[in-house]
Amino acid sequence: MNAGIIGIGRYLPEKIVTNADLEKIVDTSDEWIQTRTGIKERRIASDDIDTSDMAFFAAEKAISNAGLTALDIELIIVATVTPDSPFPSVACLVQERLGANNAAAMDIGAACAGFMYGMVTAQQFIQTGTYKNVLVIGVEKLSKITDWNDRNTAVLFGDGAAAAVMAPVSKGRGILSFELGADGVGAKHLYQDEYIIMNGREVFKFAVRQMGESAVSVIEKAGLTKDDVDFLVPHQANIRIMEASRQRLELPEEKMSKTVDKYGNTSSSSIPIALVEELEKGNIKDDDVVVMVGFGGGLTWGAIALKWGK
Ligand code: UT7
């Protein structure tokens, strides 16, 4: 049984914080941020919107987009490193708000690779016939763990959420292959103390190497070649890292999703937020081969090759 995405939705906070706004807070410049990261602005959630609120808003859209009701969902997986509190899980809070009374619920933490880990976990339950409809959410309120006085990190991150309903899809469609990985030796390069602490250089080097390798790996595992790839949706961390993976796949610019300029790095929600954007623009159509690839704190990484469509 192939597992694919049958419905998807996203939520982005309304408040826009531009690079010019950040120039007033830390010693930085719009020019530095744009040339080093590709980011122009990011969305920041207001104090009364927490992670579970954003997750709920995105989930409602995904379930309706799938043509289902909350009672059809049998498992909720939330990928996040910024839960409302250590427990209960964000997944349980979302379950209650949705009225998804038939669903089991859990959070997983794989940082920016979290949505890849969530999708693959969902796939395992669907492939075995255990569950039919699984809701996977990537959501972060990174603004609450960002040190707004640290220019190394304050300029990079944003808040947002996106959700996908995964279910059995027709033969040949859905997840074709995946790769998940971790290297705890690199844990020291990106972690949360009170706020996010990052060795940007080390993460950058790791990301450039790993994004390319994982993308190539899932293409090979699926029995495809680079020419078969219709669209690349990389984790939106930094345009320079994303460009490296695009070039590794020898794809033209218009075949790579780019939302980092508008939303910054939204960690586990960045890949599904970008996916929704491309679907809305009509850039991804049925039977297109989409490669998604992410990396993050842990260190973790994950990639999926998916043939779009139900
Ligand atoms: O989802 C995973 C999360 N993390 C990432 O994806 C981060 C990966 N790393 C990166 O994206 C890049 O390493 C950064 C964007 C964080 C930094 O870019 P870089 O080209 O690696 O710059 P750098 O760290 O080598 O710093 C270059 C200079 C330094 O000054 P000196 O030592 O050369 O005088 C920094 O102090 O830029 C300075 N700098 C800044 N200047 C203005 C660092 N941050 C800023 C800033 N504004 N915000």
Question: Same structural domain for residues 291 and 221?
Answer: yes
Look at the chain and report how many structural domains it folds into: 2
Question: Sheet holding 300-307: strands in order across?
Answer: 174-182, 300-307, 289-296, 231-234
Q: Domain range spanning residue 190? A: 174-307
Both 17 and 158 in one domain: the answer is: yes
What does each C-alpha distance from 145 to 45, 124, 222 come to in angstroms? 12, 32, 38
What is the pTM (predicted TM-score) of this model?
0.97
Give distance in angstroms: CA of 93 to centre of ligand 1: 36
Determine the Cα–Cα distance for residues 32 and 233; give it in Å rounded to an integer. Answer: 25
Residue 301: per-residue pLDDT: 97
Domain shared by 160 and 186, yes or no: no
- Residues 217, 155, single domain; the answer is no
| Residue 129 and residue 229 in one domain | no
Q: Is 308 helix (H, G, I), strand (E, B) or coil?
A: coil
What's the rounded Cα separation, in Å, for the pair 114 and 51? 15
Shared domain for 34 and 126, answered yes or no, is yes
Domain boundary among 135, 169, 203: 169
Q: What is the pLDDT of residue 1?
A: 81
Out of 36, 40, 243, mutate this one to test ligand 1's pocket (max ligand atoms within 8 Å of CB): namely 36
Pairing of strands 134-141, 174-182: unpaired
**Is 190 found in the same domain as 115?**
no
Protein residue whose Cα sits closest to atom 12 of ligand 1 = 200
112: annotated active-site residue: yes
Assess whether 224 and 146 both reside in one domain.
Answer: no
Burial class of residue 147, CB neighbours in 10 A (0-12, 13-18, 19+)? middle
Q: What residue type is 225 in one-letter code?
A: T
Q: Are residues 131 and 6 in the same domain?
A: yes
Domain termination residue (choose one: 114, 137, 169): 169
Q: Please report the atom of ligand 1 found closest to the CA of residue 267.
A: 1
Distance between CA 119 and CA 116 in Å, rounded?
5
- Enter the DSSP assignment of 269: G
CA–CA dist 55, 221 (Å, integer) = 32
Q: What's the gap in Å between 272 CA and the centre of ligand 1?
A: 25
Structure tokens at 96: 């209650």
Q: Rounded CA gap, 165 and 276, in Å?
A: 13
pLDDT of residue 229: 97
Specify the pLDDT at position 116. 98
Helix axis angle, 270-281 relative to 114-127, nearest 10°? 80
Q: Does 189 qualify as catalytic in the annotation? A: no
Pocket test for ligand 1, best of 188, 196, 204 (most atoms within 8 A of CB): 204
Q: Tell me whether residue 114 is exposed, middle or buried, using C-beta atoms within 10 angstroms of its C-beta: 0 to 12, 13 to 18, 19 or more.
A: buried
Residue 31 C-alpha to ligand 1 middle, in angstroms? 13
The predicted pLDDT at position 104 comes to: 98
CA of 151 to the centre of ligand 1 (A): 9
| DSSP structure string for 77-121 | EEE-SS-SSSSS-HHHHHHHHHT-TT-EEEEE--GGGHHHHHHHH
Contacts (Cβ under 8 Å, ≥6 apart) of 176: 218, 221, 222, 224, 289, 305, 306, 307
Task: Please check whether residues 141 and 286 belong to one and the same domain.
Answer: no
pLDDT, tens digit only, all 310 positions of the chain: 899 999 999 999 999 999 999 999 999 999 999 999 999 999 999 999 999 999 999 999 999 999 999 999 999 999 999 999 999 999 999 999 999 999 999 999 999 999 999 999 999 999 999 999 999 999 999 999 999 999 999 999 999 999 999 999 999 999 999 999 999 999 999 999 999 999 999 999 999 999 999 999 999 999 999 999 999 999 999 999 999 999 999 999 999 999 999 999 999 999 999 999 999 999 999 999 999 999 999 999 999 999 999 9
CA of residue 101 to ligand 1 center, whole Å: 45
Selecting among 112, 133, 189, 238, the annotated active-site residue is: 112
Same domain, 26 and 162: yes
Which residues, judged by CB distance below 6 Å to any ligand atom, belong to the binding site of ligand 1?
28, 32, 36-37, 112, 151-152, 155, 198, 200-201, 203-204, 207, 237-238, 265, 267, 296
Instruction: Judge whether 89 and 118 are in contact, CB under 8 Å.
Output: no
- Reading the block at residue 149, the tokens are 């006085």
Closest C-alpha residue for ligand 1 atom 23? 201
Claim to verify: residue 42 and residue 165 sit in the same structural domain: yes
Domain end (from 114, 147, 169): 169
Q: What is the CATH number of the domain that holds 97?
A: 3.40.47.10
CA end-to-end distance (rounded Å), the chain: 12
